[in-house]
Amino acid sequence: MVNLSEGAVTSTSHHEAPHAEPGPVAFDTSMPSPARVWNYWIGGKDNYAADRAAAEAVMAANPAQATIARTARRFLVDVVRQLAGQHGVRQFLDIGSGLPTADNTHEIAQRVAPASRVVYVDNDPVVLAHARALLTSTPEGKTDFILADLRDPETILTHAARTLDLSQPVAIVLIGVLHFIDEDADPYAIVAQLMDGVAGGSYLVIGHAASDVRSAEVQQGYRAYNERSPVKITPRSRQQIDRLVAGLEPVGPGMVTLGHWFEPGQLGGDGADLVGYTGIMRKPH
């Protein structure tokens, strides 16, 4: 059941199906959507001509872009598996989740810990149209989808609390979404408010476009995207990324470039062309 006034889709708990199919959702296929462009880069089929044109324009400027997107997906799989397995996390808040694909966050977490609870958040109506695929769960676990914008952390936390116990640790996943928040919208305050709303011992996972890694080629790719999309990318420097995670403790290698998250040889190369900052941070108790 979709409640657009409050921004939530009815939760699926245990082995139930969603109470109702999401109804018809209007979206403009003549303009590229971040979720659909990303879907194209990772080899998905849920995209349109405008999305493919924007994706190809970026790849013409930065040929590594599709590899970056697919490696970022591997990063998601790796960090969720780590958090559920090594760190005992049982609650995930995946904001800017994008279109369902193989190895969604709840599938990864629930393979490790079947009782895991996952809430997805996205502001793109095309993702809402596919939300049923995200509203599946193990009998022991639970999933939910919220139609909301990262710029409204209060709404996100309020609705997430219907499924997650925010007095217990939560992993907040922000992969490929913060760079769609420009400086005027104060992404630093948004992240701080999200982390203030969860318990000590919670985690923050970040994957963010970089402005200071292989700048010329990468910046050309960002410009190609921004010329075609109404939703602009704001890449950030390492100094800005550090400001985003101020007050949080690094986990493992902390914040590193995407190519350096994985062990040497795992990516079939040195990973030098895989730009973007990635990492896991932890809120102190």
Instruction: List the CATH number of the domain containing 117.
Output: 3.40.50.150
Which pLDDT score, from 0 to 100, does residue 273 have? 56
Number of domains in the chain: 1
Tell me if 110 is assigned to some domain: yes
List all residues 6 or more positions away from 91 whose beta carbon is below 8 Å from its beta carbon: 116, 117, 118, 164, 165, 168, 169, 170, 171
Residue type at position 110: Q
Which pLDDT score, from 0 to 100, does residue 14 have? 39
Tell me if 60 is assigned to some domain: yes
Tell me if 158 is assigned to some domain: yes
In this predicted model, what pLDDT tens digit does every residue of 230-251 receive, in sequence order?
Answer: 889 999 999 999 999 999 999 9
Tell me if 7 is assigned to some domain: no
Separation between Cα atoms, residue 110 and residue 112, nearest integer Å: 5
Which pLDDT score, from 0 to 100, does residue 3 have? 33
Separation between Cα atoms, residue 87 and residue 198, nearest integer Å: 16
Contact indicator for 160, 94 with CB cutoff of 8 Å: no
In this predicted model, what pLDDT tens digit does every residue of 69-128 receive, in sequence order?
Answer: 898 899 999 999 999 999 999 999 999 998 888 889 999 999 999 999 999 999 988 888
Separation between Cα atoms, residue 3 and residue 232, nearest integer Å: 28
Q: Which domain holds residue 214?
A: 27-282
Query: If you ran DSSP here, which 8-state letter would residue 263 be given?
Result: P
Is residue 46 predicted with pLDDT exceeding 90?
A: no
Tell me if 52 is assigned to some domain: yes
pLDDT cut 70: percent of the chain above it: 87
Tell me if 6 is assigned to some domain: no
Phi-psi region of 247 (alpha: psi -120 to 50; beta: other; left: phi over 0): left
169 vs 265, residue with greater confidence: 169
Tell me if 269 is assigned to some domain: yes
Q: Taking the model in full, what pTM does it have?
A: 0.88
Tell me if 17 is assigned to some domain: no
29 vs 7, residue with greater confidence: 29
